[in-house]
Structure 1
Amino acid sequence: MNFIKRTNILQIAVLFWALTSCFKEKPKELTDAELHKDSLPAMKPLIHENAKLSSEYISTKKEEIDAFYRKNWPNNSMNGGFLVAKNGHVLYEKYEGYANFRDKTYITSNTPIHIASVSKVITATAVLKLVNAKRIGLDDLVTVYLKEFPYPKVTVRMLLNHRSGMRSYAYFTDRDKSVWDRHNTLTNQDILTIMATKNIGLEQRTGTRFAYCNTNYAMLALIVEKVTKLSFREALNKIIFKPLDMTNTFVLDFDNDKKKVAPSYKGNKVEIGIDYLDKIYGDKNVYSTPRDLLKFERGRNSPDFLEPTLLKQVYTGYSNEHPGRKNYGLGIRMINWESGKSFYFHNGWWHGFTSSFITLIDEDVTIVALSNKFTKSTYAVRKLAPLFGEYPFKVEDE
């Protein structure tokens, strides 16, 4: 009898479990965004077929560019890499000089050269991809990501367009030993800590005017690290370099790479030594090649690079408090003429490294010049723009 009772109780319990389980709510199906909320947005190469160029067009442009090259860098004086491409097709490229004058290592198409402030275009691109993926808010306060950041009104957008009002880290760490001992190599985190603890005031009130400042991009690099939970070097590898097959591009690992990469030189070929600011990244410290930067620019031309409304903001000028042609967008410099024509570019200089990156958007032309021996001739490559479109350069634009 007890056995029968126990059996009935067991059967009722099983039946009850079966009935109630039928009415349990089905697990919620996660959206694609929720499934991939911790993954990183990656650049995509531009894979559609580009408009073909006639052999006559290629031959004519090649002659014109070569004439400019010989005039701008006479007697093979460039010591770097130079490339001009249209519709993704290379019209002209040249590499000459030494990556290292001591061991006579030649510069080739695969030689990474420090691109100095052209690094800002790449840093901005990583930030914008994270904004596009809703991982960063363009108008979020910086304090959302960097809790110790001492300037409460500065936004991510203001870092990108240089309207934060912050002081340059090169100035406030150079002039006062109580702020920083220059015998020690400065890091991005050191910059943030100094600003938070040493009462480093603003240069001007936040949001009132444009003032180009490397500190902005050092902070953007820290935000990328905070959001991705990766080093800046690895984050850029995942978001930009690996997806675009930029095999000769990297963020400098100062401790492991500094003595292996191409050094920089003064115009008289005297090597420039290591500086206490050489560890900072975001504003500089990307090494690349003209070919890799062409891949990068093609990726930025991909239809799914950014949502249209965000892309439009990248090429909008934000420094309009004074009338003028020169302006700055989100990680890109520009010249805006009264005719409506605009020229987008970024130049760079660090030690003896000089760089110029030009994107002629209307004509789908990319121009890149990189050198590791100081020369202002690198910046003259903008004079090639009129070969491709109506770019009315005047002396004041140089």
Structure 2
Amino acid sequence: MKLKQYIPLFSILLLVACNKKDNSRDSDNNPNDTALLAGDFSIKLPKVSTRFISDNKAFVERFYNKHYNASDYSGGFLVAKNGQIIYENYSGYAYKEKGAKITEDTPIHIASVSKMITAVTVMKLAEEGKIKFDLPVKNYLPEFPYEKTTVRMLLNHRSGLRNYAYFTADKGVWDKKKTLTNQDVLTILATKNVGLESQPGTRFGYCNTNYALLALIIEKVTGKKYPTVMKEMIFEPLGMTHTFVFDDLKKKDEVSQSYKGNYLRLAFEFLDQVYGDKNIYSTPRDLLKFDIATYNDDFLSQEMKAEMFKGYSYERKGTRNYGLGVRMLEFETGQKYFFHNGWWHGNTSSLVTLRKDTVSIIALSNKYTHKTYQTKKLAPHFGDYPFKFSKEESDE
């Protein structure tokens, strides 16, 4: 049985480079061939040779079989170099009770990988002069109670705010029989004394509330709902035809479902209508288009990329840091590894963007598993990333 999609069916923009093989010439001699992967924002990247694809496909396939195992994994997995797909695999069920299998066109909840897309939207609006990073949130959302918190602090998780998933559980704060919205999150902050985890700007504290508020700021400065803005500014221009924002629990049976590791279906709940921090459904192929577009200076300026891919939190020693909507590891040797993982209910996700190697590694699952996060172990194959895995980790 075919799963009814929540979005209209559009013509699929074919990933030209992934399916074509030119055996008549060595493609390494044509370094400026265009990878048509990002809709209106395609970018010229060196065409990958057929030998490179063949050799690395075999390696990645072995990696997938070792760490993921299609007989147990429910979701999608993709690896690409210069926007050209080296290997992809789709397995499991989008809606097991209906027999709907996952294919390359099946949108899956990408959890906190949504934050990357929200952050890029904010940055594009900043380029248009509609948002300024260092202005107080209160300038855009007058109800917001904390005067020292800026937009940048929401983006890099230095706001000190508490997670709405936690403070809505406080006594007398919210009736869990009612569906929570982004505006409700703001109203609670304005009217209930939920307090702060830390003073604004003093330390990193990963918090979904930050991105729920960023979605409201996007709505305020555009005069449109967040799902509409995302469609008009990101999804349609990039040809992400199987990507959408889920914002209506009445249509919960029209999207891919979420499962425990034993395929016990998880119910939707009162937190499942808040967006910005989560609630984008997408596919590995669509996320590849998004990743490739971020290399294009017309889609996102060099100035904004410099803001996005730098660390902001150095209170504690270590390699972990966070930019604007992206996690990173900053090694003492100078290498930087950029990624974002996600988890919501049974959905887990990982998008790795190896910037200096133009390699994309994407894994999505709707059946709870930590296997999704094995993406990190593939990075050293494509570049100089000095990860130190224990023997146990290496054997997983």
TM-score band, normalised by shorter chain: 0.7 to 0.9
Q: Is the 8 A contact 1:44 1:302 kept in 2?
A: no
Question: How far apart, in 2, do the equivalents of 1:285 and 1:317 lie?
Answer: 26
Deviation of the 1:75 alpha carbon: 5.4
Are 1:108 and 2:113 an aligned pair? no
> Where does residue 50 of structure 1 map in the other structure?
45
TM-score for the superposition, normalised by structure 1: 0.87
TM-score normalized by the length of structure 2:
0.87
> CA–CA distance in 2 between the matches of 1:155 and 1:50?
36
**Cα separation, partners in 2 of 1:44 and 1:301, compared to 1, 3 Å:** farther
Verify the 8 A CA contact 2:137 2:149 in the aligned structure 1. yes
Residue in 1 that maps onto 2:366: 372
Contact 2:347–2:367 (CA<8 Å) still a contact in 1?
Answer: yes
- String of CA shifts for 1:291-310, please: whole Å, max 9, x gaps: 00011111111122333233
Using the TM superposition, give the Cα deviation of residue 78 of structure 1 relative to its aligned residue in structure 2, in angstroms.
1.3
Aligned to 1:165: 160
Matched with 2:273 is: 279
Paired AA for residue 52 in structure 1: K
Q: Which amino acid aligns with 1:165?
A: G
2:377 and 2:370 map into 1 onto residues whose CA distance is 13
**Equivalence for 2:305:** 311
Check conservation: 1:159, 1:216, Cα contact below 8 A.
Answer: yes
Counterpart selection for 2:141 from 137, 142, 146: 146
Work out whether 1:217 is the aligned partner of 2:237: no
- Give the match for residue 390 of structure 1: 384
Show structure 2 runs of 5+ residues with no match.
Answer: 1-37
Q: Helix, strand or coil: the match of 2:362?
A: strand
Aligned to 2:343: 349
Q: Percent identity?
A: 54
Separation in 2 of the partners of 1:133 and 1:91?
36
| Local SS of the residue matching 2:297 | coil
Q: May I ask how many residue pairs the two structures share in their alignment?
A: 354
* Counterpart residue number, 1:133: 128
Matched, 1:241 2:235: yes
Match of 2:91 in 1: 96
Instruction: Provide Cα deviations, 1:50-70, integer angstroms capped at 9, x if missing partner.
Output: 212222211110011000100
- How far did residue 339 of structure 1 move? 1.0
Selected match of 1:252 from 227, 246, 268: 246
Q: Give distance in 1, aligned partners of 2:233 and 2:363.
A: 24
Structure 1 match to 2:30: none
Aligned partners of 2:365 and 2:249: how far apart in 1?
A: 23
- Distance in 1 of aligned mates of 2:41 and 2:59: 27
Range moving further from structure 2, 305-314 or 192-201: 305-314
- 8 Å Cα contact 2:126-2:133 kept in structure 1: yes
Do the aligned partners of residues 90 and 71 (structure 1) sit closer, same or farther apart at CA in structure 2, a change above 3 Å counting? same
How far the C-alpha of 1:258 sits from its partner, in A, is 1.7
Matches within 5 A, 1:21-100: 45-74=40-69, 76-100=71-95
The one-letter amino acid of 2:270's match is Y
Contact 2:41–2:298 (CA under 8 A) maintained in structure 1? no
How far apart are residue 256 of structure 1 and its match?
4.4
2: CA distance, partners of 1:352 / 1:92: 25
Match of 2:189, SS state, is: helix
Distance 2:81 2:161 in 1: 38
AA partner of residue 212 (structure 1): Y
2:320 counterpart of 1:322: no
Distance of 1:95 and 1:46 partners within structure 2:
27
Shift of 1:395: 4.1
> Pairwise CA RMSD of aligned residues?
1.4
Write the letter of the residue equivalent to 2:170.
R
Shift of 1:275: 1.2
**Deviation readout 1:276-326 (Å, 9 max, x if unpaired):** 100110000000000000111111111223332332111110110111100
* Distance of 1:349 and 1:285 partners within structure 2: 11
Output the CA distance in 2 between the equivalents of 1:294 and 1:232.
Answer: 22
Report the 3-state secondary structure (helix = DSSP H, G, I; strand = E; otherwise coil) of the residue aligned with 2:253. Answer: coil
Partner of 1:333: 327
Quote the Cα distance in structure 2 between the aligned partners of 1:370 and 1:61: 21
- Structure label with greater radius of gyration: 1
Q: Distance in 2 between matches of 1:261 and 1:120?
A: 20
Deviation at 1:394, TM superposition (A): 2.0
Mean Cα deviation higher: 305-314 or 336-345: 305-314
For 2:356, what is the secondary structure of its paired residue?
coil
Aligned equivalents of 2:184 and 2:87: distance in 1? 43
CA contact under 8 A between 2:249 and 2:272: conserved in structure 1? no
> Which residue, 262, 271, 281 being the options, matches 2:256?
262
Structure 2 counterpart SS, 1:265: coil
Report if the CA contact (8 A) 2:179-2:271 is conserved: yes
Deviations 1:159-182 (A, max 9, x none): 000000001111110131x11011
The reply on whether 1:204 has 2:227 as its aligned counterpart is no
1:255 is displaced (CA, Å) by: 3.6
Counterpart-to-counterpart distance in 2, 1:318 and 1:44: 32
Distance verdict in 2 for CA 1:390–1:138, change over 3 Å: same
* Residue 355 of structure 2, aligned match among 358, 361, 375: 361
